[in-house]
Amino acid sequence: MDASHVESDLVNVLFTEEQIQAKLAEMARKIEADYEGEDLLVVGVLKGAVMVMADLSRALNRHVEMDWMAVSSYGSGTKSSGVVRIMKDLDADISGRNVLIVDEIIDTGLTLSWLVTNLTSRRPKSVEIATLLRKPDALAMPVDVKYVGWDIPNEFVVGYGLDYQEKYRNLRDIGTLAPHVYS
């Protein structure tokens, strides 16, 4: 689905599908350089990171192993609830491995901070984060992010995996959701 199908629900389009793909390719080149000759386990954070994880992994010109976690601090609203819940854990043992967490957005930082602490306790060789979007003005918890696509304003965005009540995930672009949709 493209933005024209939901244009009355969006204030504006922040990033087009083409811009997103170019940014992910740029991030992939940096990841390849940083992990050259190293084993890499890429961990996607469900559900939102599905699109980013798939396209970033395909942009990498190397083998990577993939796994998934489902961790939530949102519920059904537009603001973080502040309570982190683990919904699905990793299948792989990460001890002694390089782990790259892939997420679509860092908002408050609460979920990613908790996730890094949780994964670090499992004795990996390294844990780093790659995210397509980050909201610096919304950060409530510092999170060291190695790969960031774009910093964005503290607005509610949808598309490319980002949702509002499970809608808009399949939007190819990323846009700011109009307040009339969630008010």
- Its pTM stands at 0.92
Return left, alpha or beta for 105; rule: phi > 0 is left, psi -120 to 50 is alpha, else beta: beta
Domain CATH for 101: 3.40.50.2020
176 found inside a domain: no
Q: Which domain holds residue 88?
A: 17-152
How far apart are the C-alpha atoms of 32 and 56, rounded to whole Å? 11
- DSSP assignment letter at 70: E
29 found inside a domain: yes
State the total domains in the chain. 1
* Model confidence at 68: pLDDT above 80: yes
How far apart are the C-alpha atoms of 115 and 108, rounded to whole Å? 13
Return left, alpha or beta for 49; rule: phi > 0 is left, psi -120 to 50 is alpha, else beta: alpha
Q: Provide the token pair at 10.
A: 């969006």
89 found inside a domain: yes
Q: How many alpha carbons lie under 13 Å from residue 70 in its C-beta half-sphere?
A: 5
How far apart are the C-alpha atoms of 160 and 163, rounded to whole Å? 8
174 found inside a domain: no
Choosing from 9, 55, 103, 107, the catalytic residue is 107
pLDDT tens digits, one per residue of 47-64: 999 999 999 999 999 999
pLDDT at 72: 74
8 found inside a domain: no
pLDDT tens digits, one per residue of 97-137: 999 999 999 998 988 999 999 999 999 999 999 999 999 99
Which of 161, 158, 182 is CA-nearest to residue 49?
Answer: 161
Is 107 designated active site? yes
